[in-house]
Amino acid sequence: MEDGTKEDYELLERLEQPYLEALPDRLLAAVVALKDSFSGYQVSRYEHSLQSATRAHRDGRDEEYVVAALLHDIGDELAPYTHGEMMGAVLRPYIRPEVVWAIEKHGLFQAYYYAHHSGGDRNARDRYRDHPCYDACVEFCERYDQNCFDPAYESEPLEFFEPMVRRVISEPPRYLPDE
């Protein structure tokens, strides 16, 4: 990289722009791919994601929140033990920090509902009890995750959420961390 010229990096920047603009397409494709992902639940991960986003939308959550709810589990395909952290990294430039933190930690917080059945610590989330976003993550898991495996729930289709994903993810990054 040290041998690159100004012209080289201008070219790379021009080529990178269409790739960045296609991020909403890649994220929506990752949601669709959840139709074929591992699931022992009564609904697919795809339907789980639609239920999560639908419930958030019907509760009057803003578009950032609804998009985060829709996308919260797509990292499960590549990072089954750390998918929340993976999705936090993807969403961080576009979604406010409180929601990103909830998405990052939702796997641990979700264990509250099942860990005690398999010898785990259902209260492991309590190590974050003093974190300012703790309650936001508890609420996300309670209202938009653990209950979103209901085969009788009528979700909105993915096409309903597509414009929201495009609006939120196509915006210039608003929440870049300090470097």
pLDDT per position as a tens digit, 25-55: 999 999 999 998 777 888 999 999 999 999 9
User: Please, which pLDDT band fits residue 178 given cuts at 50, 70 and 90?
Assistant: low
**Res 82 pLDDT > 70:** yes
Calculate what percentage of the chain has a pLDDT beyond 90: 77
Question: 100 with 68: CB under 8 angstroms?
Answer: yes
Of 54, 37, 87, the C-alpha closest to 161 is 54
Percent of the chain whose predicted confidence (pLDDT) is above 70: 98
What is the arithmetic mean of pLDDT over 153-165? 98
Residue recorded with tokens 């930690």: 105
Residue 151 has pLDDT above 80, yes or no: yes
DSSP-assigned letters across all residues of 51-102: HHHHHHHHTT--HHHHHHHHHTTGGGGT-TTTHHHHHHHHHTTTS-HHHHHH
Q: What is the pLDDT of residues 114-137, one digit of tens each?
A: 999 999 999 999 999 999 999 999
- State the pLDDT at residue 175: 85
Domain locations in the chain as residue ranges: 7-170
Give the Cα separation of 43 and 150 in Å (integer): 7
What CATH fold (topology level) applies to the domain 7-170? Hypothetical protein af1432 (1.10.3210)
Which tops the pLDDT comparison, 76 or 69? 69
Helices (H), the chain: 6-21, 23-33, 45-58, 63-71, 83-91, 97-110, 134-144, 158-170
91 pLDDT more than 70: yes
Q: How far apart are CA 116 and CA 120, in angstroms?
A: 5
DSSP assignment letter at 173: P
